[in-house]
Chain A
Amino acid sequence: MVHISRSRQDRSLRDLVDWEQGHVSREIYVNEDIYQQELEQIFGRAWLFVGHESQVPNPGDFFQSRMGEESVLLVRDRKGELHVFLNTCRHRGMKVCRYDEGNSLLFTCPFHGWSYDTDGRLVGVPNFQTAYRGELDKSAWGLHEVAQMSNFYGSIWATWDPKAPSFEDFLGAFVPSLRRSFEGSDGGDNGLEFFSPVQKWRLPTNWKFPGFSFAGDHAHGAMTHRSTTVAAFGPQGELAGGDRHGVPSRWASTEYEMSIPALGHGGHGRIYEQPGVGPYVETWQTVLQADDYYHEMRDKKAEKYAGQYLHGVSGCVFPNVICGGSRILLWHPHGVGVTESWRFYTVDKGAPKPVKDAQRRYMMRYCGPGGMTESDDMENWNYAYPASLGTVARRLDYNFQNGVGHAYADDRVPGFTLNYRIGEENQRSRLRRWLDFMEAGSWDELSPAKR
């Protein structure tokens, strides 16, 4: 375990993270040793988001993804099975693939020419008969594969730890909510496809600033995004009453912070006062076909969910991904003070082209580094980091007290705790799980959740 003695004497991690009271030392966001321990204990053990099956539909298709700081390959093998491999040659470590995406039935290392099949087997070694005298055990030197992979309604997740519980157990009560994040707007499972390519950009801040606060920090919107609200830019692409979001279809409902404190997942959710799917609200006035399409999909969804309550939460999965709202937000650690942000955009598989185009263009002007809304998030996350680095600054705690002591369980959403919609409940949940991961020697102490 890391001991911090630089600015506070021998503080244990437990002492640095008092999530019950909402006092969290800045050290955990800026300390290099703690960061290294995160790579080992969190990114080496937790289930991480890798990609989506729609990115690799055909045998030989690959997508270069990332787990923590490391490059991995999502590959569909010749037989159609999916794999996730560490992108490094077992001989001398060179990346076996340097393309972002593509199709290849063989990954040949550009260094000495070792080559691997799409299922990871080492199949070619130059001078195998002469220099190696046929003695190299090729079966032992295939590409290093993740310990476990899960295809969750089309989304691909993986962990390096063979002792990690199943992905469903890792999610716990979050399963139904995350499942709905990958539904089409007609309510059909695995109803999404991913647009290509991925937006990737570097953000000079610790990964936890965006990773723990995005979609868990409802308090920031009014201030951070004031200019977008004033400039007024909704899905229509023109002035629309100052609402920067579309108008979601909904029944009378109450919004809460919802989190699973022991597992660290959570975000914003709604509890509905009646079952089923609410009436459609026109959102895309200037793209008529889009409203027609989404209206029709809403009707199908209403059929599917007739009589059922759709309580649930938008998906923030510990440690570094947020799913839902036509996008996947992934915050990769890239050094203690740098985050490599990856943004995937999604759309209904069967949507007609004008709808896909409208959706895509809306996401581009709203989200990502060029997005009118999110460009301002980057500024805040950026400068919170250096302002926390100083000798004096890092003696201070961050304040995570918003709503402390007011969380409560509700039978309608078993497994979750609720709190007022603007608060820091799910950020405290993430910090609590963070602490568990950082202290636990193995999954034995983490599974399903430390009490």
Chain B
Amino acid sequence: MAIDTTQQAIERLLLEREIEQFLYHEAELLDERRFSEWIDLIADDVHYHMPIRRNVKFGEQARENSDADSEISWFDEGKATLAGRVRQINTGLHWAEEPPSRVCHVVSNVQILDVHGDEVKVKSRFLVYRNRLQDEVDLFVGKREDILRRDPITGWKVAKRTIVLDQNVLLAKNITVFF
């Protein structure tokens, strides 16, 4: 986006700051396992997608990430399923997260790619550290591309989230954390 005036530059800075604070707030809720509050930040029409990464030839990068429209991914779901996952963790019987894992979301490299009406397209990097029981460690690292939508109650909501995990064979036994 071109920035013409000082006023626009300030607005832009404020927007960046606001978006970053929203992403950090989300990470905080997840790390504190306040999932029922986190799910309120997810738009009802969200598309939450984590593709599988293929090893492809140079020139075939378009096929590198599995396609949400026709292929298999790690996650490809909407709010009903995400809410089901929250409900599942909150049973206290979801053994993969019981006893609870220790999870730390680090979000960085936040870039606003586009602003369109009340929606903002944001790219970021994530580093999600999961440690559970005595010594089990998983590290999920990658890029996220979100569409965040202004919301009168929560400030922002996640309307679309694409999570590009930098792994081919998943090196964790399961994925029971949110990104």
Contact = CB atoms under 8 A, between A and B. Distances in A.
Contacts of A198: 72
A99 interface: yes
Interface in A349-374: 353, 356-357, 360-361, 363-365, 368-370, 372, 374
A230 interface: yes
B94 A195 contact: no
Give the interface residue-count category, chain B.
35 or more
A200 B72 contact: no
Contacts of A383: 133
B100 to A, nearest CB: 13
Contacts of A382: 173
Question: Which of B70, B88, B91, B176 neighbours the largest number of chain A CB atoms within 10 Å of its CB?
Answer: B88
Contact of A227 (B57, B75, B91): B91
A224 B173 CA distance: 16
A139 interface: no
Contact of A237 (B55, B66, B80, B95): B80
A98 B54 CA distance: 11
Contacts of A196: 66, 71-72
Nearest to A101: B54
A369 B56 contact: no
Interface stretch (B30-38, B110-118, B164-172): B164-172
Interface in B46-89: 50, 52, 54-57, 60, 66, 69-78, 80-81, 84-85, 87-89
B107 to A, nearest CB: 20
Interface in A194-214: 195-204
A227 B95 contact: yes
B93 interface: yes
A376 B77 CA distance: 19
A100 B72 CA distance: 14
A25 B150 CA distance: 60
Contacts of B81: 233, 237, 365, 372
B71 A195 contact: yes
A366 to B, nearest CB: 10
Contacts of A100: 54-56, 168
Contact of B74 (A199, A345, A361): A199
B10 interface: no
Nearest to B78: A237
A333 to B, nearest CB: 15
A166 B89 CA distance: 47
Contacts of A376: 94-96
B57 A200 contact: no
Given A100-B168, A231-B84, A375 B175 contact: yes
B174 interface: yes
B71 A197 contact: yes
Nearest to A197: B52
B56 A99 contact: yes
Contacts of B168: 100, 200
Contacts of B174: 201, 369-370, 374-375, 378-379
A412 interface: no
Contacts of A232: 84
B93 A372 contact: no
A379 B100 CA distance: 12
A102 interface: yes
A365 B52 CA distance: 14
Nearest to A237: B80
21 contacts: A99-B57, A100-B55, A100-B56, A102-B56, A102-B57, A196-B72, A197-B72, A199-B74, A201-B170, A202-B173, A203-B173, A230-B91, A230-B93, A237-B80, A357-B69, A364-B77, A365-B81, A369-B173, A372-B85, A375-B174, A378-B174
Given A197-B72, A364-B74, 15 more contacts: A100-B54, A201-B169, A202-B173, A227-B95, A230-B91, A230-B93, A231-B85, A231-B91, A232-B84, A364-B72, A368-B74, A369-B173, A369-B174, A370-B50, A375-B94
